[in-house]
Chains A and B, each alone.
Chain A
Amino acid sequence: MTGALRAEWTKLRTVAATGWLMLATITATVGLGTIVALAVTYRSTGPGQDIPKLSLVGIQLGQAIIAILAVQTISGEYSTGMIRVTLTAIPRRPTLLAAKAAILTALVLTAGAVAVLGSVLVGRLILPGHGFTAAHGYALLSLSHGPTLRAAAGSVLYLGLIALLSLGVATAVRESAVAIGLVLGLLYLFPILAALVTDPQLKRHLQQIAPMTAGLAVQATTNLGRLPIAPWAGLAVLAGWAAAAVLVGGLLLRWRDA
């Protein structure tokens, strides 16, 4: 296992794209968060804002780049034929997948932590200037606040689970275009479908099973009673999706010829 881990680490580390994709994830996440923080202003009327969730909106863009990184980890091997060398070196396929998952998750959690901390920092610096002050009932964004910490830590875990989901899907379908289409379809289509369907019950069920909507429930800090699914339960739904994808991918990897 140690050898497999080292091999996977070397592979990911020596591909230039890995570093660029991690950097792009951080830039995209913090960038979108900054744009939204600059655009939002406090209003005394209307519904209040969920400040931590607002600052972490960039995750919805950043996850797309995480998905590329995860899909390339395995699809890249199939497109170049590297997979045959890899499987010759590590014939135990579950070990290989586990090693890939471990290295990928570690990288994604690192990039995710930087991206999330950057987003929270941007929110902390910009939002008070837009009227979200203690006088209006909005405390300064701080990780010492329980729900904010949950939103931040949950967002990092969310990105890790998105990486595992993508890895599982890519292991199952191999072709990178199809894999990334499936992953981003799973993530982005559910919220659109939930918003467009006319039946309120169907809408709610879609929101409860959608990997993204359920998973990002962990970012909510206000109006928890109105969420379609509770924060940690939502992240568990995403974990279920990721586990299913990795399981199916692992079984197919074991049963099929490379």
Chain B
Amino acid sequence: MSATTAPYRSDLPAGRDSFAQLLHAEWTKFRTVRGWVITAVVSVIAIIVFAYLGTFRHESGVCTGPSPASCQAGHPHVPVGPGGEAVSDSYYFVHRTLAGDGSVTVRVSSLTGLRQTGNGNAVSTSDLVGAPGPVQPWAKAGLTLTAGSTLGSAYAAVMLTGAHGVRMQYDYTHDTAGPSVSIAGARWLRLTRSGDTVIGSASADGTHWTVVSSARLAGLPASVQAGLFVTSPQTAPSQQFLAGDRAGGQATAANARFDRLTLEGQWPAGRWRGQDVGANGQTSTLTSVGSHPSSGGFTVTGSGDIAPAVGLPAAFTDQPSLTGVFVALIVLIVLGTMFITAEYRRGLIHTTLAASPRRGRVLLAKALVIAAVTFLAGAAATAVAIPLGTRLLRSHGNYVYPTSALTELRVVFGTAALLALTAVLALALGAILRRSAAAVTAVIVLIVLPYMLVIVAAVPAGVAQWLMRLTPAAAFAVEQTLPQYHQVDYLYTPASGFYPLAPAVGFAVLLAYALIALGLAGHRLRTTDA
């Protein structure tokens, strides 16, 4: 007779199948593979070391003093506006002193362009020839009022532009559109000062006036210089390819006829004086640039721009400091892929799935662990790399565009999140393809290759813009620190630090890729045997 024996049952309480335990298990797997921990540390070191290499001893000796005369010979000068930003402040100014409240009214009877012959960034007035040419869309002619004689002083101006109608602009970054008119017809402009407030108005006939906008210039001194100005910016650099070294635009000039000039208010007696402001510190004696009194007004020729400066030859953003992010990116792509493919190779996946049969949760736990590790590593590294790189650049005499603390935070955490999501994308593709070589290549081709093709200008600008919209490389927009100014024509390309998508939108593109890949990976994991 055989006695039936009860099957063995453990006395131990049943284990809790909680998600926290799953996370703990995946964290233990990561933590105890020495090679992976070393890899994560290597990515941190790479970001910091390459911040040093990226900003390597390049000295341009740029200076930001009040005038070019304060710079050492040969050093480029960057004026700084009231908001602390780099500005262009170069124009021809016909001015008088306004000692208190008052207004100036003028009619702009014509605005024409002058043929460009100059090259490069420096506006050399001797290169400009007085033959007619196309007028630049952002050529400006009108009235301005400036707080001081140093470059980068606060100002407010109302103007007629080449192709953008009447505008009111002040303190370099502010721009308001007025009535949109063609430059063919004569336009009346008026600038009125009362206290700290300056109002710009425009009229078609000199009797019916519309206010374009008003500006409050805090701390405007009682006595200011006000009068007529003309300026014309460089042409935008070549649109198709922007090869490694930055191709500059060409200098241009504009010519405007002003008449019916009338003054009201507190204008002390005096003469109109002409001044070539900001033209490399040289006072022009050329007749081609300057002003000629004509019947009841002036004919003024000017060159340059009054606007935020973009694309300065010796100025930098955070880009060189973040060189190492690309090294870290490839390292973390390999890490993210191996976090799952190693399980398939070693057969550990069988144990993992036996211990936690709900497969979707396993994948989620893995994604969260790898994302947390790479995010923390990325945030720590970029938080060191950006101040370090900026400091090195400045100590070598370079100009670094100022950024707000909030923007810096966005760059640090955005870059960290970019690294984390890329690692998650690599994990997901690893789970889908189950082959490391194919998964690693796919992620690198998706995110690193587009950026490489764009930054070395291997593809035309049109393709570059779409690559930066459609591929996960769109997320590099989180590293953009300079705003794009609509009132400055420039080749706003990723190679010069401008991305076609806003930081949040670009980031969302990468997020979408990662989430879709994770969804597909979860599907594959659930529906096919390991």
Contact = CB atoms under 8 A, between A and B. Distances in A.
Interface string B429-457: 00000011111110011001101110110
A203 B337 contact: no
B495 interface: yes
Contacts of B330: 181, 184-185, 188-189
Nearest to B235: A45
A79 B319 CA distance: 39
A192 B240 CA distance: 20
A177 B448 contact: no
Contacts of A180: 334, 436-437, 440-441
A178 B334 contact: yes
B413 interface: no
B323 A188 contact: no
Interface residues of B toward A: which range?
Answer: 35 or more
A130 B229 CA distance: 43
B440 A191 contact: no
B504 interface: no
A191 B436 contact: no
B441 A39 contact: no
A216 to B, nearest CB: 9
A32 to B, nearest CB: 8
B284 interface: no
> For the complex, would chain B's binding face be called helix, strand, loop or mixed by DSSP majority?
helix
Nearest to A176: B437
B243 interface: yes
A45 B338 contact: no
A181 B444 CA distance: 8
B350 interface: no
Contacts of A194: 244, 456
B54 interface: yes
A61 B445 contact: yes
Majority DSSP secondary structure for residues of A touching B = helix
A47 B241 contact: yes
Given A179-B437, A198-B58, A198-B316, A35 B453 contact: no
Contacts of B319: 196
A229 to B, nearest CB: 14
A67 B445 CA distance: 12
B500 to A, nearest CB: 15
Nearest to B247: A47
Given A39-B460, A75-B437, A46 B455 contact: no
A179 B54 CA distance: 25
Contact of B54 (A64, A75, A196): A196
Contacts of A47: 238, 240-241, 243, 247
Contacts of A64: 441, 444-445, 449
A177 B327 contact: no
B222 to A, nearest CB: 45
Contacts of B244: 194-195, 203
Contacts of B456: 191-192, 194-195, 213
A60 B450 CA distance: 10
A137 interface: no
Interface string B60-88: 00000000000000000000000000000
A47 B457 CA distance: 13
A47 B245 CA distance: 13
A193 interface: yes
B240 A46 contact: yes
A194 B441 CA distance: 22
B251 to A, nearest CB: 15
Contacts of B333: 181
A213 B439 CA distance: 25
B150 to A, nearest CB: 28
Contact of A198 (B238, B393, B441, B451): B393
Contact of A188 (B50, B440, B449): B449
Interface string A22-55: 0000000000000110011101011101000000
A8 B441 CA distance: 24
Nearest to A170: B437
B499 to A, nearest CB: 15
Interface in A182-210: 184-185, 188-189, 191-200, 202-203
B436 A39 contact: no
B438 A68 contact: yes
Interface string B22-58: 0000000000000000000000000000100111111
Given A45-B238, A191-B456, A36 B463 contact: yes
A65 interface: yes
A49 B457 CA distance: 12
A177 B323 contact: no
Contacts of A199: 56-58
Given A39-B463, A193-B326, 13 more contacts: A36-B460, A61-B445, A64-B444, A176-B435, A184-B440, A189-B448, A191-B455, A193-B50, A193-B53, A194-B244, A194-B456, A202-B53, A213-B456
Interface of B: 50, 53-58, 238-241, 243-244, 247, 316, 319-320, 322-323, 326-327, 330-331, 333-334, 337-338, 341, 345, 393, 398, 435-441, 444-445, 448-449, 451-453, 455-456, 458-460, 462-463, 495
25 contacts: A35-B463, A39-B463, A45-B238, A47-B247, A57-B453, A57-B459, A64-B441, A68-B438, A68-B441, A79-B345, A176-B436, A179-B437, A180-B334, A180-B436, A185-B327, A185-B330, A189-B326, A192-B452, A192-B456, A193-B54, A195-B244, A195-B456, A196-B323, A197-B54, A198-B320
